[in-house]
């Protein structure tokens, strides 16, 4: 009698192809292929990518039971695994700090680990064991909610290209040293750092994301940066530090990034750049900068407006501009200094490549109106200028509409869109 099931073509595929299939499956399903037949019993055991998420064990409302199951499952997978492990990722909200983590990382340090991602659930921070710093082939490291203390003997990760630290307890000196000892680092993300003065030396860095309470930031050796996104949280101590500072933050932060292509400044970033900018001209031209996004800009603060003007006039190839005003701007008691705009309009700068502008949280304040006039009058290829006003100030919105009708436009194709989102 012939074999009604037909030949087993999949089992006879090369191991490399089988592995490429298995890594597409959730780790739980990949391991379960061992029950298919004797040929498949250990097929999964040589896959080089191990990802443990919330679905790696059956769901249960008993958190403690789930955590024990996760620990047991990960330990069993590592115990049965054969060969190198290039990627090990834990993104499990049920798993918290446990002693087995030390054993796992020790095992990984001996198995050519290249990508390590550790994101555990809410609870006690876990301490990263010193074995991590023996992982000499790391190219990507992402850590969350942990304590990190590099040993004095640590010489760096020679091949690390991506570093992401999120809610990580590490000393300021240690984080700066860690960054500087990763000579090939291309992507850096630091989130939820408190009261940190940071100097970044990373000659190959291309992508930078910062979020937290930063007293100071100095980009000392970052000539290849192409994209920056930064959010700065303000505390009383940091506000006082800003007021006492005599340095020009614009130069310290943007004075050495000639290849910048995209800049995103979230809360308080424009305020930070405005410190010391009054009598300082832009340190360079940003010929590659095509997109600028700035949020919570205070249009009653002349130096913050100056930051915007310095940026856009130093970016001859700027195509997209997005700015959000600060919705809590008080109505100015004194007459606004509109002479500022007369001085700025004396310059012959033109925004020759600017095509798209989006302005949100606009309250119709005098300096906002003047800024809109400035953009419309100096952007000969502008296609759309979208304005999203503050919804709570209808009177100023009407005034803004009336003023916009009068504005001279350098572009005959410019469409002004006044809308509520």
Cα separation values, 36 from 14, 57, 140, Å = 17, 20, 34
Instruction: Give pLDDT, residue 333.
Output: 43
Q: List b or e across 207-237, with b for residues whose CB sees 16 or more CB atoms inside 10 angstroms.
A: bbbbbbbbbbbbbeebebbbebbbbbbeeee
What does the pLDDT average to over 63-77?
89
Tokens in use for 248? 């020009």
Mean pLDDT value of segment 353-374: 90
**Mean predicted confidence (pLDDT) in 402-419:** 83
* pLDDT given at position 40: 65
Closest CA to 293 of 327, 267, 259: 267
pLDDT at res. 296: 92
On whether the CB atoms of residues 208 and 225 are closer than 8 A, the answer is yes
| pLDDT tens for each residue of 190-221 | 999 887 789 999 999 999 999 998 888 899 99
User: How far from the centroid of its chain's Cα atoms is residue 225's Cα?
Assistant: 13
Overall pTM surpassing 0.85 (yes/no): yes
* Average pLDDT score over residue span 266-281: 83
Region for residue 268 given its phi and psi (left: phi exceeds 0; alpha: psi -120 to 50; beta: otherwise): left
Cα within 13 Å of Cα(47), Cβ side? 27
- CATH T-level topology, domain 283-330+337-420: 3.80.10
Q: Could you tell me what percent of the chain has a pLDDT over 90?
A: 50
Q: Are 196 and 213 in contact (CB under 8 A)?
A: yes
The structural domains of the chain, with segments of one domain joined by +, span: 283-330+337-420
Look at residue 122 in the predicted model and tell me its pLDDT.
Answer: 81
Task: Check residues 205 and 406 and name the one with the higher pLDDT.
Answer: 205
Q: If you average pLDDT over residues 405-416, what whole number do you get?
A: 85
Query: Rounded to an integer, what distance in angstroms lies between the CA atom of residue 79 and that of residue 67?
Result: 18
Is residue 396 pLDDT above 80, yes or no? no
Closest C-alpha among 305, 296, 328, 277 to residue 374 = 305
> pLDDT of 309-321, one tens digit each?
999 999 999 999 9
Strands 356-362 and 384-389: parallel
Mean pLDDT of 78-96: 90
> Quick one: pLDDT band at residue 52, thresholds 50, 70, 90?
very high
């Amino acid at each position: 009698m012939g074999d009604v099931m037909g030949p087993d073509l999949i089992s006879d595929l090369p191991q490399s192809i089988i592995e490429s299939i298995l890594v597409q499956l959730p780790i739980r399903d990949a391991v379960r292929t061992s029950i298919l037949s004797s040929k498949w019993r250990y097929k999964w055991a040589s896959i080089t990518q191990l990802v443990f998420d919330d679905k790696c064990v059956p769901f249960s409302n008993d958190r403690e039971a789930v955590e024990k199951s996760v620990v047991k499952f990960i330990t069993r997978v590592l115990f049965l695994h054969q060969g190198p492990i290039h990627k090990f990722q834990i993104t499990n909200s049920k798993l918290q700090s446990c002693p087995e983590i030390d054993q796992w990382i020790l095992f990984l340090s001996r198995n050519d680990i290249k990508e390590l991602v550790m994101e555990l659930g809410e609870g006690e921070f876990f301490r990263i064991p010193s074995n991590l710093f023996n992982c000499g082939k790391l190219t990507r490291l992402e850590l969350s909610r942990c304590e990190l203390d590099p040993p004095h003997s640590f010489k760096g990760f020679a091949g690390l290209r991506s570093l992401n630290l999120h809610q990580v307890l590490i000393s300021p000196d240690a984080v700066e040293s860690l960054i500087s000892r990763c000579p090939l680092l291309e992507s850096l993300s630091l989130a939820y750092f408190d009261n940190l003065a940071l100097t970044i030396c990373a000659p190959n860095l291309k992508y930078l994301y910062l979020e937290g309470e930063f007293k100071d930031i100095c980009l000392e050796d970052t000539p290849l940066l192409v994209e920056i996104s930064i959010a700065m949280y303000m505390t009383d101590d940091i506000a006082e530090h800003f007021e006492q500072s005599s340095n020009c933050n614009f130069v310290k932060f943007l004075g050495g990034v000639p290849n910048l292509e995209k800049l995103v400044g979230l809360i308080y970033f424009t305020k930070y750049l405005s410190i010391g900018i009054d009598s300082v001209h832009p340190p360079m031209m940003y010929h590659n900068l095509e997109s600028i996004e700035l949020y919570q800009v205070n249009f009653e603060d002349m130096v913050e407006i100056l930051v915007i003007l310095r940026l856009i006039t130093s970016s001859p190839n700027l195509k997209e501009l997005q700015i959000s005003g600060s919705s809590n701007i008080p109505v100015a008691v004194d007459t606004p200094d509109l002479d500022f705009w007369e001085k700025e309009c004396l310059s012959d700068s033109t925004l020759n490549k600017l095509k798209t502008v989006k302005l949100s949280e606009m309250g119709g304040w005098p300096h906002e109106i003047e800024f809109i006039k400035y953009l419309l009058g100096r952007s000969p290829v502008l296609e759309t200028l979208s304005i999203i006003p503050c919804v709570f100030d209808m009177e100023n919105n009407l005034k803004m509409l009336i003023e916009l009708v009068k504005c001279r436009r350098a572009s005959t194709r410019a469409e002004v869109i006044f809308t509520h989102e």
